[in-house]
Amino acid sequence: MTNRILAAAALMLGLSFGANASECELSLEANDMMQFNTKVLSAPASCKEVSITLTHTGTLPAQAMGHNLVITDTANVAAVGTDGMAAGFDNNYVKPGDERVYAASKVIGGGESVTLTFSTEKLTAGGDYTFLCSFPGHWAIMQGKFEFK
Ligand code: CU
C-alpha cells in the first residue's frame, strides 16, 4: 500500500515537471485575413528550447496565403522580410543561412500546422525579439513581440 502511495506521489511530481516544460511550448494561429491571433508570445528565459506550433486556420493554399514563423531581433524585421521575399517560396521566404534569423519554419497553407523547435542558446533574457511571417507583403502586419524573460 505504501509503495502505491509513493508511486502516486512520484507520478504527480513527474506531472508537475511536465507542466514546467509546457511553458516552453507555445501555439499561434494564422488565418486567411493575413493575421496572427496574438501580438505577444512569451517563453520563460529558463527554457533551453522553445517549441511554437503555428496553425493556419484558413483554407487558402500556401502559394496564395502562406504563413511561416520567423524569430529575429526586432531591429532586423524589415531586412529579414525584404531578403526573405527575394529568397522566394522554395526557401520558405528566408534567406538561406541568414544569421539574423534565430529560427524559421516552413511556409504552410490553410488547414496545415507546423511546429518550430529551436534552441535558445543565442537568445538573451530580456532581449528585443519579434516573431513574424516572412511571406511577401505579410511581415508589416503579421508580427508581434517574442518575449524571452
Ligand atoms: Cu503570412
**Is residue 8 a part of any domain in this protein?**
no
Q: How far is the CA of 103 from the centre of ligand 1 (A)?
A: 16
What span, in angstroms and rounded, lies between the C-alpha atoms of 58 and 66? 10
**Is residue 12 a part of any domain in this protein?**
no
Q: How far is the CA of 65 from the centre of ligand 1 (A)?
A: 6
Helix H or strand E segment including 2: helix 2-22
Q: How far is the CA of 119 from the centre of ligand 1 (A)?
A: 23
Query: Burial, 113: exposed, middle or buried (Cβ in 10 Å; 0-12, 13-18, 19+)?
Result: middle
Q: How far is the CA of 141 from the centre of ligand 1 (A)?
A: 9
pTM: 0.86
Q: Structural domain of residue 61, as residue ranges?
A: 19-148
Cell numbers 496565403: residue: 65
User: pLDDT per residue over 71-125, tens digit each?
Assistant: 999 999 999 999 999 999 999 999 999 999 999 999 999 999 999 999 999 999 9
Cβ proximity of 73 and 134 under 8 Å: no
User: pLDDT per residue over 17-44, tens digit each?
Assistant: 443 679 999 999 999 999 999 999 999 9
> What CATH number does residue 68 fall under?
2.60.40.420
